[in-house]
Structure 1
Amino acid sequence: MIERPRRNRVTPFGDIEATPHGGTLMGNRGDLHANDGTVCRTWMLRRWISCTLHPPTGRRVTFDTPGCYTPLFFADEVTALAAGHRPCASCRRPAYEAFRAGWQDAFGEKPSAVEMDDVLHRARIDAAGHKVTFLASLRDLPDGVFVAGERSPGTAFLVRAGGLHPWSHAGYGKPVHVPLNRPMKVLTPAPIVGILTTRRLDLAEAHG
């Protein structure tokens, strides 16, 4: 019997989908389970984090279990950031400290995890639960940011080396190029765009 893929893979839009493709990072938003173990919510906590695939010793990853956090999976770091997840302060401490330092460079203060989570939550979803986006010229966006396609608004594109690389669960497609002064709908939350502007990510591990 072939097991159907679980709905636990996160897109740059922040949506949770079912796919047979794996991921390079795990994370959570709290317990998203219904009583039957299926995923019925998109978030429960303001603490949206991205973790290693291998939790510290003593912690178990449980699936389809109400009352336990719902393991989510990301293709790569930039996908997790676009969805609004910051690095975990426990299992990804160096990445977390770099994220905080980038926040300080961008905004002038080094916040606590709770302070960052509060700001990020307002920047990623609105009161109706919809993803928050904003417009910015491509020339003003750093590598590592995701934008939505103009002709295909359901497709996310990674800004990298002057091109827009179409994202899918399977990997990135060939880059397309648009005028640098063209306004784009930005998917990555504004505070994270500010961090990426001051601290460039190594995108060598971007999946695909």
Structure 2
Amino acid sequence: MALQNRVTPEGKIIANPARGGWMGNRGILHDDNKQLQQARWRHKAWIICKLNFKGRHRDVMAPNHYTELFFLDEATALAAGHRPCAECRRAAFNAYRDAIDGKALRAPQIDAQLHSARLDPSKRQKIIWEEWFDLPDGCFVRHEGQVCVIWKGALHPYSPCGYGPALPRPTSGLTAVLTPGPSLTALRNGYVPQVAL
């Protein structure tokens, strides 16, 4: 049976057997039986980590250790409100940080910005409305009932196992954007996430 540790672009944590390309962390969210509890985060530092780093090995959802979360790709993790890890992904963290505003922000400052941008007052994913023409590759939108990533001029419908066939990208009007403001800024300023296409 699949563990409930797969994160969607909408920030939901679901059970799905697909492993994903990246791991993440929001703190200890599970019990001793590897079951998610009510909390969906324990701190503001939601990070995106490599699956392999310095030969470290972890038992997934071990008691009293953070809950390993998994994402299809980096664009999914950014949409869910995560940012590159400053330890295992230092170069990506630096590029992301520089693309936010060009200043030498520290990780806690970025985490505070992301935390206020990713959740609405009811603690659900905050949606922002943007013009189609101004959206960068790598951001996620909700379009005609589907969650899609924008990539190379097209929309690609998301599923935990991969993306569906490309759909035409509208050129005008507003759309609901899932990727939080700081990450959207990073994408606009040249941060290029890994996308499983």
* TM bucket, shorter chain: over 0.9
Q: Residue by residue, what CA displacement relative to the aligned partner does 1:72-103 show, whole Å, maximum 9, x if unpaired? A: 11111111111111000101111111111112
Q: Secondary structure at the match of 1:9?
A: strand
**Counterpart selection for 1:95 from 86, 92, 105:** 92
Whole-Å Cα distance in 2 between the matches of residues 201 and 91 of structure 1? Answer: 18
| Partners of 2:7 and 2:138 in 1: CA distance | 16
Q: Structure 2: how far apart are the matches of 1:139 and 1:99?
A: 22
SS across alignment from 2:167: coil
CA contact under 8 A between 1:89 and 1:96: conserved in structure 2? yes
Superimposed CA distance per residue, residues 174-201 of structure 1 (whole angstroms, 9 cap, x where no aligned partner)? 1212431121100000111111001141
Q: Which runs of 4+ in 1 moved over 2 A?
A: 34-37, 62-66
Partner residue, 2:139: 145
Give the counterpart of 1:163 among 148, 154, 159.
154
- Distance (whole Å) between structure 2 residues aligned to residue 149 and residue 192 of structure 1: 19
TM-score, structure 1 as length reference = 0.88
1:171 partner amino acid = G
Contact 1:134 1:186 in 2 (8 A): yes
Using structure 2 for the length normalisation, give the TM-score.
0.93
Per the TM alignment, residue 164 of structure 1 is displaced from its structure 2 partner at its CA by 1.0
User: Which residues in structure 2 correspond to 1:99-138 (within 5 Å)?
Assistant: 99-105=96-102, 109-138=103-132
Q: Which amino acid aligns with 2:9?
A: P
Partner of 2:31: 34
For structure 2, the residue ranges without an aligned partner over 5 or more in a row are none
1:207 alignment counterpart? 196
Aligned to 1:84: 81
Is 2:96–2:191's contact at 8 Å kept on the other side of the alignment? no
The residue type equivalent to 1:52 in the other structure is K
Counterparts of 2:74 and 2:60, CA distance in 1: 22
User: Contact 2:75 / 2:138 at 8 angstroms: preserved in 1?
Assistant: yes
| 2:13 aligned residue | 16
Contact preservation (8 Å) 2:85, 2:93:
yes
1:93-140, CA deviations, whole angstroms, 9 ceiling, x for partnerless residues?
Answer: 1111111111234xxx32110000001001111232100011111101
